[in-house]
């Protein structure tokens, strides 16, 4: 890798760049104001930098005893460099530091790279949300996945 990757807290001035990543990563991206609201609400929001530009982000919401990965994206030009893995590790570490016992997320079943990443970390499928995601032809279900922070961490987590 020819850059020094850094993960740091998202700042309000990052939102335009974060939206640029989001809109390149997803056909149905979050709007910029959603990221601003997440920052305002005090969610755990982090950006992945490479060569001083935002190339990925993760948003984590905390609740009593649990956390929820609301959004994780890496710009397609920066895929396959370990940035998604690093952002997920950041989210899991923060969830653990803040007292969560479980971390949940939703993922499109059609997003095989993401399903593979989450499964490789030790997330397990615990449910399905019918019609959760918009598609060009209608709706797609979401897989609900859970990571138990109380279990022994899988290989690669520590």
pTM listed for this prediction = 0.91
Q: Topology of 6-148 in CATH?
A: Aminopeptidase (3.40.630)
Structure-block tokens of residue 145? 């996945």
Whether 74 has a binding-site annotation, put simply, is yes
**Residue 118 near residue 156, CB atoms below 8 Å:** no
> Active-site residue 118, yes or no?
yes
Residue range 78-84: mean pLDDT, rounded:
94
Residue 158 confidence class, pLDDT cut points 50, 70, 90: very low
Q: How far apart are CA 142 and CA 47, in angstroms?
A: 24
82: which residues sit within 8 A by CB, 6+ positions away?
5
Catalytic residue among 19, 43, 44, 118: 118
Catalytic residue among 106, 132, 147, 151: 106
Whether 72 has a binding-site annotation, put simply, is yes
Residue 90 confidence class, pLDDT cut points 50, 70, 90: very high
Residue range 119-124: mean pLDDT, rounded:
95
pLDDT at 19 > cutoff 80: yes
Whether 71 has a binding-site annotation, put simply, is no
> Active-site residue 133, yes or no?
no
pLDDT at 4 > cutoff 80: no
């Amino acid at each position: 890798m020819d850059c020094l990757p850094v993960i740091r807290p998202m700042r309000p001035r990052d939102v335009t760049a974060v939206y640029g990543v989001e809109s390149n990563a997803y056909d149905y991206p979050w709007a910029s104001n959603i990221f601003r609201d997440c920052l305002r609400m005090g969610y755990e929001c982090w950006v992945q930098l490479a060569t001083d530009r935002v190339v990925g982000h993760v948003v984590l919401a905390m609740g009593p005893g649990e956390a929820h990965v609301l959004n994780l994206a890496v710009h397609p030009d920066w895929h396959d460099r370990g940035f998604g893995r690093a952002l997920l590790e950041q989210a899991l570490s923060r969830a653990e530091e803040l007292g969560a016992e479980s971390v949940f997320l939703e993922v499109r079943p059609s997003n095989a790279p993401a399903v593979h990443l989450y499964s490789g970390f030790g997330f397990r499928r615990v449910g399905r949300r019918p019609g959760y995601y918009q598609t060009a032809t209608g709706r797609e279900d979401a897989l609900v996945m859970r990571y138990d922070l109380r279990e022994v961490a899988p290989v690669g987590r520590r």
